[in-house]
Amino acid sequence: MSQIELGHVVGVAHTTWRFNQDADTLEEEIFHCVQRALANAGLSMDDVTGIVTGSSDQLDGRSISMMLTSGSVGGPGREIVNVSSSGEHALVLAAMRMASGRQRVHLVVSWGCPSEADLDALDVLKCEPFFLRDLGVGRIAAQAMAASTYVDRFGLDVDMLTSFVDSLGVRDPSESLNAEWLSWPIRSIDLPPLVNGVTALVLGTNDVARDLGQRSVRIAGMGWQSGSYRLEDREYNTAASGADAVRRAMIASGSTLEQCVATEWHFLNPFHAFETIEALDLAPPGGGATWFPAQIAKGNFGTSYAGDTLFSTGLDRVAALVDRLIGFADARRDGSVGPVSGLAHAVNGFTGQGGTAFVMEVSK
């Protein structure tokens, strides 16, 4: 078990709203989500001592997005900082601040608002200007390059592999029949649905968690790392950094994947899912697809197929895990009182370039 006290999640809220839907402004959505997280914790903004936000300027359509949204999260007059490498990095930084003893109640908020962005233009502008931009290797094309490498490496049947998405039960399988090819071997049905969303977590110290007297979820360990921007330098692998982050988090927490009663995964597409499972030695090379049916049957895991904001999805996986662990603990009927652990996995950067993982633990 980690000797470093990274804090407890004492409040959580997350919201998604789909494209082209009349909704509040982004600032209003963030404000409401933060208020719900604080209410969930039984705290108010007056209790908050520090804030870390995670925002993407280009997705939000502003040169420095957090300027406007700072007010929605209670930034004025508080120790606030913003990360822009990924939404879940906001939790990493907040946990380090908690571990240092600087903060007592800390807010972590991230969001993604892809409906407001010209994603095709961003795809081009995200490519470095010397090689990739001229080739047009954007988000989907890069994923397809990695996926096709995976398929070729093992001589796999694409139709069989992509039925994975249907098996998750997140949409009608009949949609798969006419799904368009985006870039072989990826079809539109293979990608998680893009959504706008906000996730807010309230962290508290051991004392705060104890004083609140309700279930809280301890951050037992975390790991994060980046890989090369260049897919060719990663041998077109999109899963290595995410898997390494999981290993780091497991070592930090003293847990194993087998001990996790629930897992939440950030998958870019089915092939990335299979590679991730294989990189963690949960399935043999080329056999990642075989791992999922049993897990789906157990019902103890979730994925980014619930909705992908393109930036805060990793933090949303953490929030989903917190909900799942508390639900698991609440529903326990066997009289046991020991801790239960879960894993949240996230990826970031250019096509799985970076990875982050958190091992969370609930006890009572």
Partner 1 sequence: MRGVAVVGIGQTGYQTNFDETYPELVYRAARLTLDDARCRLADVDAVVMPMAPEALSGVVQADQWVVDAAAAIGKPYMRINTGGSTGLMAVEAAYWHIASGLADRVLVVGADKVRESGSAQQVLNMIWDPFYERAMPLNTITMLAFQAVRFMEKYGVGEEEMARVAVKNRLNGTRNPMAHLREAVTQDEVLASRRIAWPIKLYDCCPQSSGGAGVLLVAEDCLPKDSPKPAWITGLGCSAETYWMGDRMGPAAIGDHGEAPALQESSLLAYKMAGIENPAQQIDVAELYAPFSNTELHAIPDAGLCAPEEVASRLWRGEFDFDGRMPVNPSGGVMCANPISVTALVRVAEIALQLQGRAGDHQVPDVRTGVATGNGGDHQFFGTMVLSNEQRGPKI
By CB under 8 A, name the binding residues for partner 1.
3-4, 6, 55-58, 61-64, 66-68, 70-71, 75-86, 89, 92-93, 95-97, 99-102, 122, 125-130, 223-230, 233, 244, 349-350, 353-354
C-beta separation of 109 from 30 below 8 A: yes
CA nearest 104: which of 12, 201, 202? 202
Closest CA to 7 of 332, 266, 360: 360
Nearer to partner 1, 47 or 166 (CB): 47
- Please, which residue, 20 or 63, has the CB nearer to partner 1? 63
The minimum distance between CB 363 and partner 1, in angstroms, equals 22
For residues 338 and 152, give the distance between their C-alpha atoms in angstroms, rounded to a whole number.
46
| Closest approach of partner 1 to the CB of residue 138, in Å | 10
Distance CA 87, CA 109 (A): 8
Tell me the closest approach of the beta carbon of residue 135 to partner 1, in angstroms.
Answer: 15
Least spacing, CB of residue 364 vs partner 1, in Å: 26
Closest to 347 in 3D by CA, of 274, 238, 263: 238
Residue type, 187: R
Our CB check for partner 1 shows the closer of 193 and 349 to be 349
Min separation Cβ 206 and partner 1, Å: 15
Q: How far apart are CA 170 and CA 306, in angstroms?
A: 7
Question: What is the DSSP secondary-structure string of 291-319?
Answer: GHHHHHHHT-EEEGGG-B-SSSHHHHHHH
Q: Which is nearer to partner 1, 244 or 316 (CB)?
A: 244
Question: Side-chain half-sphere of 22: how many Cα atoms within 13 Å?
Answer: 0
Cα–Cα distance between 288 and 301 in angstroms, integer? 15
Smallest gap from Cβ 79 to partner 1, in A, equals 5
Compute the least distance from the CB of residue 245 to partner 1, in Å.
9
Nearer to partner 1, 44 or 49 (CB): 49
Which amino acid is it at 289?
A: A
Whether 190 contacts 269, CB under 8 Å: yes
Would you tell me how many other CB atoms lie within 10 Å of the CB of residue 35? 16
Taking the least distance from each CB to partner 1, the nearer of 99 and 257 is: 99
Nearest distance in Å: CB 151, partner 1: 25
Quick one: 307 or 354, whose CB is closer to partner 1?
A: 354
Distance between CA atoms of residues 319 and 54, nearest Å:
14
Nearer Cβ to partner 1, position 76 or 155?
76
Amino acid at 219: I
Residue with tokens 């020991």: 338
